[in-house]
Amino acid sequence: MPMRALIWTASLLALVVCPFVVTSPYYLHLLVTIGIFSILTLGLDVVFGYTGEVSIGHASLFGIGAYTAGVLAMHFGIGFWPALPIGIVVAAIFGGLLALPALRVTGPYLAMVTLAFGTIVQILINEMTDLTNGPLGIKFSTPLFLDLRAWADTIPLFDMSLKRMKEVEYFYVTGIALVLTVVVINRVLASHFGRAFEALRDSPIACDCMGVSVYKHKVIAFVLSAGLAGLAGVLFAYSEQYIAPNNFSFELSIQFLLAVTMGGRKSRLGPILGAVIIVFLPNLLADINLFRIIAGIVAAIAVVAGVASMIRSPEDRGRVAIPMALCIA
């Protein structure tokens, strides 16, 4: 079995077994949050890792998905399951509306445009009190299995639909969403879209010369990424059971970018590893004693590495450093 297939098989087995090993509701909730953030960072990696564009507005797209679920629940009585596809579509539409003008620019200019978009979205969520409940936020009830309330009395088969999800069941729902996200991204990146994404990142001018529309493919990548951010937002809203405007701040967008960078771009496991870091590390370091232990270990490793770098091998001692200018000459 290839190493990659072995890693993914082990990951799926770990996903199935995890609730039986992690019995604490607190740590199980952290695992759910990791799964949700992984969905978003996998989508962000399509834009940041493959097309090479920096988006600082993904926290706002994340918030749009969450508030879509909140508005549907608060004003229309629409539950969790219908909110999932609706949240994806709404966030993808907003992502498309942002991408159409924003992707005319690149680099730091695009980062500034997405930052402005995120600020505007947060202000609108705060000010549109009739729709979003403003700074007070929106509370959610625990999602039902299938939300088939009207049929449950007439069809005994659907009696289970009235039961509220437990944390373990929500963990599996999030896990299935994460697996489907990985499958979709793999399929997209294995297609001609994926090859175009990589090509336009390395050489957009060559892509234009070959007849590949750089602008169109960047918009497609951004819309896909926005849809996944919307999916993560809906899952986050029902996981936390409460959302407020400050949940989707500029700092969260930076954390998502850091997650993709630290975990490794242009990979499936990298964004997931990054999500583990940004979720678990702050919680682990909340304990000052644990922080001191980890800081001491890191300092010791740094000292040892520094000493090792100063101790040169016998072969290196006899070598003479040659200036780069002489090498070039």
The per-residue pLDDT for 52 is 87
Query: Is 129 a domain residue?
Result: yes
Query: Is 306 a domain residue?
Result: no
The per-residue pLDDT for 248 is 95
Q: Tens of pLDDT along 203-218?
A: 777 777 777 788 888 9
The per-residue pLDDT for 1 is 55
The per-residue pLDDT for 238 is 96
The per-residue pLDDT for 162 is 53
Q: Tens of pLDDT along 291-319?
A: 566 666 666 665 655 545 555 445 554 55
Query: Is 5 a domain residue?
Result: no
Structural Rg of the chain based on CA atoms: 23
Q: Tens of pLDDT along 16-48?
A: 888 888 888 988 999 999 999 999 999 999 999
Query: Is 303 a domain residue?
Result: no
Beta bridge partners of 12: none
Query: Is 320 a domain residue?
Result: no
Query: Is 182 a domain residue?
Result: yes
The residue range of the domain holding 233 is: 25-287
Q: Tens of pLDDT along 228-242?
A: 999 999 999 999 999
Query: Is 127 a domain residue?
Result: yes
Query: Is 13 a domain residue?
Result: no
The per-residue pLDDT for 199 is 83
Total of domains in the chain:
1
CATH code: domain of residue 80: 1.10.3470
The per-residue pLDDT for 300 is 67
Residues of the chain scoring pLDDT < 50: 147-161, 307, 312-313, 317, 320-329
